[in-house]
Chain A
Amino acid sequence: MSGVRFLHLAGAPNVRPFTILAVTFAAIALADLGFGTLLHSATIFSVTQLFATLGLAALGLGLTMIVDEFDLSIPGSFTVAGAVAVLTGAEYPWLGLACGVASGFAAGAIQGALIVSLGVRAVGLTLGGFLTLIGITYVLTGGSTIAYPNHAVSSWLYQPTFFGLISNRGLVVLAIFLAAAAIMFFTRLGRDIIATGSNRAGAPVAGVNTSAIIIGVFSAAGALAALGGVLLSYSLQAASATQLSDTLVAAASAAILGGVSLSGGKGRALGIAAGVLTICLLRSGLSAIGAKPYTLEIVTGTLLLVVAIFDAPRFLQQMRRLRPRGSSAAPGKN
């Protein structure tokens, strides 16, 4: 009986992201059996480095998904902020950081305001935003890779701490995840965000200013992605318009594996962190055990597809209909 209860607990929405993370870890460790490459501290460091790169973009995208939207411009904010920071922050890294984050914040705020005032879905609008931001990055960088000359900053960010398991950059990203989790869990703001996502039409009745929440979430998402981009460009000492073009697939997979519901209203910052770690573990783990690069794409694509199917509004209804003696299925919600 306790086994059943354990499965129940492991599958509970708030625990599921951590269960998936543990299963992924176990699966890769099993595939690695006898080679010992996975549990090497260098592999763990590469996992946390990837976590630092993807984490904030996934958190930003996840936030917009929690309010039942989808921000395609996240990789754009990520990329443009890196270029802005490299161009403005050579002498004063803090200034570059501020300018980079401000550019992402502005991109998010403008798009959020347009979404609210035009009354449109974010997908189409942020597609235009994405292409504009990438275009701005092309113009800023002249289409090539621009170098960041301040070595002191990059070596501090790369500095391994905690027994060589995580860099300072990783610690910064982790701290932001904890702060976001605290805000989501303890404050009224967090509850308002969830309310906006689960019922945008009804939330105003409960005193939620949904317009302000949407604009705020998109601004925060842009700023978070931008911070991730600035930290990456500082760390790599470079910025370019083509940096990390697969951010979107990875960030979306991470958010979804992290328990963010595709229909809005559900998701937690720490769950997203677990989702990001799962993706990073897959990526580093698969390459550590010598899998070909395309294995990762197939595994990520399959995971995304499986979650999209299980999370679909009519999945259960169709399953019931497939049962041999299934009674007539209840009408779906939409």
Chain B
Amino acid sequence: MTRQHAINAVRALLIVLLAVAMATTPGFFSAPSIIATLDYASLIGLVAIGMAFVTISGSIMSLALSATMATCGEIFLLASGLGMWTAIAIALAAGVVITGVQGFIIGIIRANPIIVTIAAFALLHGIVSALTGGARAYPDSAAEYSLLRARIGMVQAPLIVFAAGAVAAQLVLTFTRFGRNLFLVGSNFRAAEAAGIVTWRTISIAYCVAGLYTAFAGIMAAARYQTADLELGAGYDYEAIAAVLIGGIAIQGGMGSAWRVVIGAVVFAAAGTLLVLRGYSTEMQKLLTGVLIFSVVCLQTGGAKR
């Protein structure tokens, strides 16, 4: 119990530190800084919501979401000549299938999720390079998708998608049978089976949802940059799991919410903006981000024994 108190104290201290840093950093509350922060948080957040479904299901994390994001971004641009909505539908379907297949393998025979997703990462990189010949993807010259790059005041399109996605995810987690099953499968697999839950189906759906949200992130990023290659999602696996853990979702599974992911993504993005505004070098930013994630994992997992 005393350790739990200590951990809570450190958490509170971190929050106070972050608030002080925000208040004392000139320009943090300026419009460009807030837009950039929310925009960054939206892309990380979309992948992080997907990652949260994987984490809650008891599968720790996926190392293939970055590759899925890039692949879906490329597919969206390559299909953009067919019309925006068709291209979106194709890219989303691709994300669901790519990640859903991994979920099926993990769910039906209890294959190791880390190894399966590392394998999926290598396979996606290999297959996409083979199909595209390593060339970058560009949109069709007649493509029209300015809606995805729209901005109303300080609200950009990715933020709207992220907000809507977070609400939808929370509704699914709270009110559907799948959501309730997911928490039970993640917290106590044997009990879930004993209760008659078809565990492989629950785990497969969780991965399908992860693919869906990751594909959204890929589409928004590809629409933003108007080009995509396999580096489009680079680093997003780590940033997404960081957002999930900062939000307070337990890495061992069985608990969590979309709101926690939203908080985690915004805090992570805000910390990134702070480091930039305070003039830290790119190298120093990488180190401090690493230290942040390391401390969060220690704090996060410190409370509960496995």
Contacts and interface: CB of A to CB of B under 8 A. Distances in A.
Interface string B107-120: 01111101110111
A249 B108 CA distance: 24
A206 interface: no
Contacts of A308: 105, 111-112, 115-116, 119
B interface: dominant SS? helix
A62 to B, nearest CB: 13
Contacts of B281: 143
Interface in B114-167: 114-116, 118-127, 129-130, 134
Nearest to B288: A135
A315 B119 CA distance: 17
Contact of B109 (A143, A296, A313): A313
A327 interface: no
A186 interface: no
B112 A297 contact: no
A138 B241 contact: no
Given A123-B114, A127-B293, A312-B112, A296 B126 contact: yes
Interface in B55-82: 60-61
A120 B300 CA distance: 10
A304 interface: yes
A7 interface: no
Contacts of B134: 294
B118 A135 contact: no
Nearest to A73: B294
Contacts of A134: 286, 290
Contacts of B30: none
Contacts of B238: 127, 131
B302 interface: yes
A314 interface: yes
Contacts of B282: 138, 143
A244 to B, nearest CB: 15
A148 B288 CA distance: 27
B262 interface: no
Contact of B291 (A114, A132, A142, A315): A132
A34 interface: no
A149 interface: no
A312 B110 contact: yes
B115 A114 contact: no
A121 interface: yes
Contact of A135 (B120, B127, B241, B286): B286
Contacts of A293: 129
Contacts of B302: 118, 120
Given A135-B283, A135-B291, A308-B112, A298 B130 contact: yes
Contact of A142 (B109, B245, B283, B295): B283
A5 interface: no
A125 interface: yes
Contacts of A334: 110, 189-190
A128 B297 contact: yes
Contact of A125 (B130, B189, B283, B297): B297
B109 A294 contact: no
Interface string A87-131: 000000000000000000000000000100011110111011111
Interface residues of B, number: 53
Contacts of A249: 118, 121-122
B305 interface: yes
Contact of B301 (A118, A142, A298): A118
Interface residues of A, number: 55
A302 B294 CA distance: 32
A301 interface: yes
B283 A123 contact: no
Contacts of A133: 290
B284 interface: yes
A25 B245 CA distance: 44
Nearest to A76: B290
Contact of B251 (A121, A241, A309): A121
A175 B110 CA distance: 37
Contacts of B130: 292, 294-295, 298
A295 B134 CA distance: 12
A298 B300 CA distance: 36
A301 to B, nearest CB: 3
Contacts of A256: 115
Nearest to B190: A334
B177 interface: no
B209 interface: no
B23 interface: no
Interface in B189-228: 189-190
Contacts of A332: 110
Contacts of B120: 301, 305
A32 interface: no
Contacts of B110: 312-314, 332, 334
Interface of B: 60-61, 105, 108-112, 114-116, 118-127, 129-130, 134, 189-190, 238, 241, 245, 251-252, 281-284, 286-291, 293-298, 300-302, 304-306
Which 9 residue pairs across A and B have the least CB separation, nearest first? A135-B287, A297-B126, A128-B294, A301-B122, A301-B123, A131-B290, A298-B126, A304-B119, A132-B290
Interface of A: 70, 114, 118-121, 123-125, 127-136, 138-139, 141-143, 241, 248-249, 252, 256, 262, 292-302, 304-305, 307-309, 311-315, 317-318, 332, 334
15 contacts: A118-B302, A125-B301, A127-B238, A133-B290, A143-B281, A262-B115, A294-B125, A297-B122, A301-B120, A304-B119, A308-B111, A308-B112, A315-B111, A317-B109, A334-B110
Given A121-B60, A128-B297, A334-B190, 7 more contacts: A120-B302, A127-B293, A128-B293, A294-B130, A297-B123, A305-B120, A309-B105
